[in-house]
Amino acid sequence: MKNKFEVAVIGAGPIGLEMAVALKENDLSYIHFEARQVGNTICQWPEDTHFYSAPERVSIAEIPVQNSTQLPLTKESYLAYLRQVVEIYDLEIHTYEKVLEIEKQKGCFLIKTNKYRSGYEVEKIILATGDMSYPNKVSIPGSDQEHVHFEFQNVHQYFRKKVLVVGGRNSALEAALRCYRIGAQVSLSYRNSVFEKSITKPFLIAEIEMLIKKKMIEFLPHTELKEIGEKHAVLKTKSRDKKINIDFVLFRIGYVADLSLFEKAGVKLKGKDQKPSLNPDTMETNVPGIFVAGTIVGGNQSTYDLFIDTCHNHVEKIIQHLSGNQSPKTGSVPSRNYSFQLRDIQPKP
């Protein structure tokens, strides 16, 4: 088994795949690891979830995204697109091979995995593990029961059931709408009184607010879940506790990144979001030879500003640093060849 490479890529989401294509095209020997399957985070989304991003902004590796509707992509269509990228470039990815250890050695790193404990020797490492490894959890009485969900995957199970959705950003509002539309009786608990327009999609707010106004969805502002019983939930309010009947509780309160590899490798994590310390011009961390690409650059993003859309340039910076070549714009088909920053589509406060 060949166990010496110039570069190791860890993570096979969109940016990890884009990174692999760039390495291959620049004739850099590399090995690519993914703890589960290609595009695993996206695979965990509910069925038929649509991207908020335009198709051209989530295209990678100079392969345009085409679909029959010209509308934002579904989870399923984007996973098919990622498989197509892997097939076209014939990318070799060690799926279901989890990296367990990164050891600094003289002149290289030793990467140990669940399948190869002796380890692979690599000169450089690119961490592209994403920022949505696990859903946020809470420690309140009753939160470990079977009818309390932290993942939203099968909306059909909520048909004609009382569902308390907890959260107030995009994923919570979308979950509340989808549950309502399949016939659930929906209550929405949010710790604030209004939805934050700077970080929440306007069309979701408009739809939710209309249904709240018409009393089709019960809105419970300024509330925090205090206790969950078999058929009830207790919410803490400013004045007194409020008890409501439920069949299910669905938490949509964000995700956390798995930063264990960063810590093991000695990468410094900064601030409350635990952002990796790095050089923004090269994406190299405080540990020479270890680079970061993709949304994990934001650590545990409390205010989301890093998406697939805004991370393509990470690949370009790393390739230019590693190879000395001026990397072409990744995905530079005419339909995506325009500069884009998140503020271009964010509503003004």
Mean pLDDT by 10 residues, the chain (349 residues): 88 96 95 96 88 86 85 92 96 97 92 93 96 86 95 93 96 96 97 89 94 97 95 93 96 90 93 93 96 92 79 93 73 56 59
* Paired residues of 270 in beta bridges: 275
Place of tokens 């960063």: 262
The pLDDT assigned to 29 comes to 96
The residues spanned by each domain of the chain are 4-134+255-344, 137-251
Q: Which CATH architecture has domain 137-251?
A: 3-Layer(bba) Sandwich (3.50)
Name the token pair of 82: 């990622």
Q: Helices 202-213 and 170-181: crossing angle, nearest 10°?
A: 50
Report the C-alpha gap between 283 and 21 in whole angstroms: 18
Max CA distance (Å), the chain? 67
Question: What is the predicted pLDDT for the residue at 330?
Answer: 53
Is 4-134+255-344's fold the same as 137-251's? yes
**Could you tell me how far CA 143 lies from the centroid of its own chain?**
23
Look up the pTM and report it: 0.86
CATH superfamily, domain at 4-134+255-344: FAD/NAD(P)-binding domain (3.50.50.60)
